[in-house]
Every structure is written in structure tokens, then in C-alpha cells.
């Protein structure tokens, strides 16, 4: 592990359909054999807190990229305006998300110090999308941080692009780490238990942790939902998980 | 949680954003994570003019209680103003 990152920069890469989209890239200072992490932002968008998480992965010894999932609707706009525009347009379609993660992963694999091993991690809506990506692409690890509506039926009025993902579970391509809050409603503990059962039935490697005194968004240091104890334990679990699955020896 | 659920409506009127006044055509109303308010969820309203780009937006984030007060105040003001 190094506290240093070589650099952070905005890069442009080919996402779904070959569209050129931007991403925030933080690269490790390590010269070689570096794993890659695709960081999926939450619904409020490609914001500073998600970029901070992306930088943290670089300090942990990985190359990390946060694709701007809202770039097409609002190139150059502030993250909150972009998020509002995407919401007004109906949200990020699932198939487009998968293509964008695929492109982000390819960009990480192309970096000179890459070892070719890729994880995806997402928070909130990004947690659901991380699971979707891991069931749709060949990856080495995935982390779902309190992604809602992976198993539960969406409420009335839900955008058509978002539907339960449990039918995809047999296609999960990699080990899954799930980090959840006991006080969350989406996903509530019963939803987490259901996903656990589905993955166990499918014979898929997974490791779930549900933290007491934590609700939705407990990793968000800039929100009232931040729960320090859960977040610190969660970060330690992520570090150990990525060390097992992204490191080549 | 991310509620995702959003009410969309067409509107007629104007809003004042970062670059001055502009004509509004659309609005999104939703209960979800705020960007700025120190709360887990707020009632959010985006007044929009998509033809003018994503930055043509007037946004508010209100606590559920004050959002209901606003809704009632709007109805009261309309009733008083229009007599209907």
C-alpha cells in the first residue's frame, strides 16, 4: 500500500455503444501488477464524494476510475444539474450502464501498470448497478454497498429501466461482497437475506455483512447517514476483499 | 435508499437560475437524497428547461414537513388570488 497516487485526471473512453464518455481516473504509484476498481457513483451523480472514494482506492494500491454515468445527457454540466437531467429523462438504462462499466474496465486494463484484474464497487443505486455489472460482465470481484431494489419489487411508478435483478444471479461472474445497514429499508435485512439465499442456491461465492446502528448511506462522510463504526469496518472488509481478489502473486 | 420515483409535469412560467431568468417547460418532483440539505431524504423540485440545457434549472430541497406547508400555501394563495 502507498499513500501516494501518481495522478488524478479526467479521461475519455468508449462506453456503451461506443459513445465517448468521461471518467475520473486515479492511478496508483505502484509500477506494475496493479488491480483496477470501477467506482459507480450514486444517484446524486458524479460528485466530489465519489471522486474522493476513487482517490482512496489509488492510495490503497489500485487504479480506480469513476465513469460519469450522466455524461451523455449533460456533458460539462455540474454533477447535480446532470443528475437532475438524467432523472427527468427517466434514469440510467441498465444496458447502457453495463456497456459503460465494460468500457471503464477496458480502460483500466489498458493502463501500463495494470495486472488485468478488475473489480466493480457501487454505492446506493450504484450498489444495484455493481451487482448488475458483475452478472453481465466477466470481472474478478464486486462490491454492493446497500444497493436497493436488487431483489425487491419496485413500487408503483418505478422507472421501467429498473427492475429486480435476482434472475441474473446465476450469471454472477465473480465473488460478491455485500455491505448493508441493519436500519436500511431498501435494502431491508429481509431483502439482504433473500439475496443471500438466491446466491447460495446458485452456488455463487458471496460474503455479506450487515452493520448495526447503520442505515442507508453509512459510507457517506458528507451526509447525516454517515456511521463511522460501520464505515471503518466496511473499508477494512473492502481492503481485505480486494487484496484477495485483485492482487496477483 | 434511492427512491427513484419521480413525478414529471409540464409547466408554464419562468424561473431565475444561475444565469438569470429563463422560460420553464418541465418540472420534476421527487422524494430522494438531497445534494445540499443535511437530511437523508428531502422533497426535491427541479424546474427545468431541457431545451436550454441541464444547467437551466431552479432547484429546491425541502424537509417533508415544510414541503407540505408549501403545497398548502400554494393552494391557499391560488384560492385567495383567483377566488376559486
Q: Which helix (H) or strand (E) holds B75?
A: helix B64-82
CA-wise closest residue to A88 among B70, B67, B6, B45: B6
Name the closest residue on chain B to residue A92, using Cα atoms: B4
CA distance B67 to chain A (A): 19
- Across the interface, whether the CB atoms of B54 and A73 are under 8 A apart is answered yes
Which set of grid coordinates corresponds to residue A97? 450502464
For the cut 90, the answer to whether the pLDDT of residue B5 exceeds it is no
Q: What is the DSSP string of chain A?
A: --S-EEEEEEEEEE-GGG-EEEEEEEEES-SS-EEEEEEE--TT-S-HHHHHHHHHHHHTT-EEEEE-TTTTTSTTS-HHHHHHHHHHTT---HHHHHHHHHHHHHHHHTSTTEEEEEEEEEETHHHHHHHHHHHHS--SEEEEES-SSSSSPPPTT--TT----GGGGGG--S-EEEEEETT-STT-HHHHHHHHHHHHHTT--EEEEEETT--TTTT-TTSTT--HHHHHHHHHHHHHHHHHHT---
Of A47, A85, A159, the CB nearest to B4: A159
Q: Rounded distance, CA B24 to CA B79, Å?
A: 23
For the cut 50, the answer to whether the pLDDT of residue B36 exceeds it is yes
- Name the residue with higher pLDDT: B41 or A249: B41
Of A157, A217, A225, the CB nearest to B5: A157
Residues of B in contact with A215 (CB under 8 A): 40
- Across the interface, whether the CB atoms of B59 and A159 are under 8 A apart is answered no
pLDDT score recorded for residue A215 = 94
Rounded to two decimals, the pTM is 0.90
Give the percent of chain B with pLDDT over 70.
Answer: 94
Digitized pLDDT (tens) for each residue of chain A, 249 residues in all: 555 566 999 999 999 999 999 999 999 999 989 999 999 998 889 999 999 999 999 999 999 999 999 999 999 999 999 999 998 888 899 999 999 999 999 999 999 999 999 999 999 999 999 999 999 999 999 999 999 889 987 766 665 456 789 999 999 999 999 999 999 988 999 999 999 999 999 999 999 999 999 999 999 998 999 999 999 999 999 999 999 999 986
pLDDT score recorded for residue A249 = 64
Residue position matching grid coordinates 444565469: B19
Q: Which helix (H) or strand (E) holds B9?
A: strand B6-17
Dihedral sign computed on CA atoms, order A149, A152, A155, A159: positive
pLDDT score recorded for residue A205 = 98
pLDDT score recorded for residue A160 = 47
Residue A32 in contact with partner chain B when CB distance is under 8 A: no
Q: Name the maximum alpha-carbon separation found in chain A.
A: 51
Amino acid at each position: 500500500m502507498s499513500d501516494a497516487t501518481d495522478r488524478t485526471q479526467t479521461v475519455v473512453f468508449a462506453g456503451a455503444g461506443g459513445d465517448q464518455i468521461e471518467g475520473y481516473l486515479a492511478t496508483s504509484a505502484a509500477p506494475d501488477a496493479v488491480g483496477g476498481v470501477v467506482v459507480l457513483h450514486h444517484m446524486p451523480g458524479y460528485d466530489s464524494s465519489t471522486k474522493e472514494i476513487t482517490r482512496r482506492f489509488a492510495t490503497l494500491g489500485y487504479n480506480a476510475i469513476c465513469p460519469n454515468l450522466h455524461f451523455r445527457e449533460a456533458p460539462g454540466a455540474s454533477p447535480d444539474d446532470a443528475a437532475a437531467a438524467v432523472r427527468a429523462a427517466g434514469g440510467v438504462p441498465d444496458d447502457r450502464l453495463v456497456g459503460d462499466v465494460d468500457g471503464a474496465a477496458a480502460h483500466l486494463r489498458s493502463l501500463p501498470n495494470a495486472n488485468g484484474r478488475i473489480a466493480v464497487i457501487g454505492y446506493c443505486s450504484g450498489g444495484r448497478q455493481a451487482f448488475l455489472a458483475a452478472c453481465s460482465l466477466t470481472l474478478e470481484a464486486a462490491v454492493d454497498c446497500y444497493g436497493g431494489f436488487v431483489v425487491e419489487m419496485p413500487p408503483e411508478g418505478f422507472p421501467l429501466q429498473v427492475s429486480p435483478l435476482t434472475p441474473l444471479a446465476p450469471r454472477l461472474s465473480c465473488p460478491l461482497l455485500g455491505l448493508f445497514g441493519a436500519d436500511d429499508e431498501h435494502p431491508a435485512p429481509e431483502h439482504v437475506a433473500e439475496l443471500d439465499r438466491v446466491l447460495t442456491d446458485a452456488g455463487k461465492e458471496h460474503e455479506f455483512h450487515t452493520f448495526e446502528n447503520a442505515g442507508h448511506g453509512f459510507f457517506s462522510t458528507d451526509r447525516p447517514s454517515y456511521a463511522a463504526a460501520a464505515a471503518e469496518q466496511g473499508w477494512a472488509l473492502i481492503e481485505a476483499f480486494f487484496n484477495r481478489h485483485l492482487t496477483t502473486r | 435508499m434511492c427512491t427513484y420515483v419521480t413525478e414529471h409535469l409540464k409547466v408554464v412560467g419562468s424561473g431565475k437560475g444561475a444565469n438569470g431568468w429563463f422560460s420553464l417547460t418541465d418540472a420534476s418532483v421527487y422524494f430522494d437524497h438531497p445534494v445540499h440539505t443535511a437530511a437523508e431524504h428531502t422533497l426535491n423540485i427541479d424546474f427545468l428547461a431541457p431545451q436550454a440545457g441541464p444547467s437551466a434549472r431552479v432547484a429546491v430541497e425541502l424537509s417533508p414537513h415544510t414541503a407540505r406547508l408549501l403545497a398548502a400555501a400554494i393552494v391557499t394563495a391560488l384560492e385567495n388570488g383567483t377566488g376559486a
